[in-house]
Amino acid sequence: MTKKLIRVCCCLLLAMLMVSPNEPVLSQPARKPNVLFIVADDLRTELGAYGSTIAKTPNLDRLAKRGMRFDAAYCQYPVCNPSRTSFLTGLRPDTTRITDNNTNFRTTLPDVVTLPQLFRQNGYRATSFGKIFHRGLTMEDLRTDMDDKASWDEVRYFQTTPLGFKGEGRNLTDGKLAWCNWRAAEGTDEDQPDGQIAREAVNVLEQRAKDKQPFFLAVGLHKPHDPFIAPKKYFDLYPTESLKLWQAPKGTLADPAVAIPGGAFREAFGKFTDKERLEFMRAYLAGVSFTDAQAGKVIDALDRLKLAENTIIVFLGDHGYHLGERGWWNKGTLFELSARAPLLVYAPKMKAKGKATARLTEFIDIYPTLMELAGLKAPNKLEGRSFVPLLDNPQLKWKEAAYTQVTRGRFSGYSVRTERWRYTEWDEGRQGAELYDHQTDPHEYRNLINEPKHQATVQQLKALLRKRI
């Protein structure tokens, strides 16, 4: 070995010895954080973590304790396709122009880059199982599927097995509403689509643990959406004698007629006896616990495979739901029960793990939040605001308002939610308006719109609503 080569080797060795023991000798590129994105269908905040005294949801309750629970998270449209289109594009429904369950957003926004598409464009393996973009469960739904192939490397759907259709159950409306059907099904979890989805999601995680490719894994659970079918063991968690039906408090004001939809749904619900009401509630809760169990399987696999240390977890319901409140057994209203939904977020580097925030957030904020956590750049204009700062300090001063809208026949309703108030206009007030004080009336029983002492508040909220219309 020449003297010159010896000197070079000695210099390199000395340099290596001088490096701090806490620093790598060679700089390594930061690992891209993975994303586990779980969406439940028609799930209101009926979780133990949100204060439910009856729902049995141990897995999601654990997720809330390890991440952050958002207590004031609002969808932008309380119907499946408009809501999902909104949070998957980061745009409000007036921008996407999607206000029904039949229109594919590519017809109105052909060039928009969706949330999973952005991750896919940045080297992630993007996989979708079940219902992420809007779709249903029947063969007709499969023929009119509105999933977005540009967003995914892999898309898979699943069907109920013949055994999964067997079991005790009935239609609660004597067939007038085909969807209003429950069944305590025979078979296992995997005889239902959601059980198959959870199984395949676990398989994907096992593969990603081997190949180390960064992933955006979207798990679209169909429950507790109708038809209310779940394995019998989940129904057994909720004996009907343990359930309590909603009752309107005495002395509350009547709702404006337009606030709750009518038609065949309203007519059928009006004929429910307590027997139908209790069966509906039990079936919905069975779906909630079934959903919790499937989400738990996927999250447990994430931990078992040691992927959680570098994986962001988002769990949300696409919108809320009524369980008999005001005589309504569905979504599609602008009341708190329909507009608000669960949102749980875990990020490995967040400082406020196990905390909750009461700050207003909107589902359109999810896109810019995940984008920031992953260090990605916006592909086009987004209308939400990243809530990454809340993950470190849940008490920060935050959004002034959250907005939800819905179409009712030939006109629309818009609702603005502040930390204290909910103000709603139908057809710019021509079809009615509502004002609720959540400080004294968190269940929105008393409409204060015509009370003289609140007119200044009405004008302020009217102006705030115009900012987003």
Tell me how far apart the terminal alpha carbons of the chain are, to the nearest angstrom: 78
Distance CA 432, CA 338 (A): 19
Range 230-253 burial, b when 16+ CB lie within 10 A, else e: bbeebbebbeeeeeeeeeeeeeee
Per the residue annotation, which of 9, 75, 80, 438 is the catalytic one? 80
C-alpha 19/C-alpha 88 separation (Å) is 45
The residues facing 228 across adjacent strands are 182
Answer whether 322's CB lies under 8 Å from 265's CB. Answer: no
Residue 265's contacts (CB-CB under 8 Å, 6 or more residues apart) are 177, 329, 330
155 vs 138: CA distance, rounded Å: 17
Q: Are strands 73-74 and 361-362 parallel, antiparallel or unpaired?
A: parallel
Exactly one of 9, 10, 134, 180 is catalytic; which is it?
134
Residue 404 in contact with residue 146, Cβ under 8 Å?
no
The torsion angles phi and psi of 345, rounded to 5 degrees, stand at: -135, 130
Indicate if 443 belongs to the active site.
no
**DSSP symbols for 44-58:** -S-SGGGT-SS---H
Mark whether 11 is an active-site residue: no
Beta-carbon neighbour count of residue 120 at 10 Å? 19
- Residue 429 gets which letter from DSSP? G
Q: Which residues are catalytic?
A: 80, 134
